[in-house]
Amino acid sequence: MKVKAASPPPPERLDVHGFFDISFKNDYITPRGLLVSNTGLTTQVLNGLVWDVYKNPGGFFKDVSINAGTWSDLWSKQGDFIFPNGSHEAVGSWNEFDWWVGGDIKFADFWKFGLQYIEFIPPAHDLPTSFPRTEHNMEFGLYYDDAHWGGPIVINPYVKLFYELSGPSTVVLGQRGDTFDVELGAVPTMDMKKYWGWALTLSAPTWVTVGPKSYWNRSDGTTNFCGPATNAPCATNSAGVFSTGLTATSPLDYYIPKRLGNWYVKGGFQYYHILNDALLGAQVLTGSAGGGPGVAGNFPSAHRDIVVGFIGTGFSF
What does the domain layout of the chain look like in residue ranges?
Answer: 16-316
Please report the pLDDT score of residue 83 as a whole number.
Answer: 60
CATH of 16-316, one of 1.10.10.10, 3.30.43.10, 1.10.10.1110, 2.40.160.40: 2.40.160.40
Half-sphere exposure of 48 (CA within 13 A, CB side): 18
d(CA 172, CA 86): 24
DSSP class of 232 = B
Nearest CA-CA partner of 179 in 143, 220, 210, 142: 210
> In the chain, how many H helices and how many E strands?
3, 16
Asked if residue 160 lies in contact with residue 139, where contact means CB atoms within 8 angstroms, the answer is yes
Beta strands 201-203; 16-25: pairing state: unpaired
What is the full DSSP assignment across 123-153?
Answer: TTTTSTTS-SS-EEEEEEEEEE--GGG--SS
Please report the pLDDT score of residue 14 as a whole number.
Answer: 73
Report pLDDT digits (tens) over 252-306. Answer: 999 999 999 999 999 999 999 999 999 999 999 999 998 665 567 899 999 999 9
Please report the pLDDT score of residue 283 as a whole number.
Answer: 96
- Per-residue tens of pLDDT for the chain, all 317 residues: 555 555 655 556 779 999 999 999 999 999 999 999 999 999 999 999 999 999 999 999 999 999 999 999 999 988 756 666 666 666 789 999 999 999 999 999 999 999 999 999 999 887 777 888 999 999 999 999 999 999 999 999 999 999 999 999 999 999 999 999 999 999 999 999 988 888 999 999 999 999 999 999 999 999 999 999 999 999 999 999 999 999 999 999 999 999 999 999 999 999 999 999 999 999 999 999 986 655 678 999 999 999 999 999 999 99
Please report the pLDDT score of residue 10 as a whole number.
Answer: 58
Q: What pTM, to 2 d.p., does this model score?
A: 0.92
Asked if residue 67 lies in contact with residue 49, where contact means CB atoms within 8 angstroms, the answer is yes
Report pLDDT digits (tens) over 256-266. Answer: 999 999 999 99
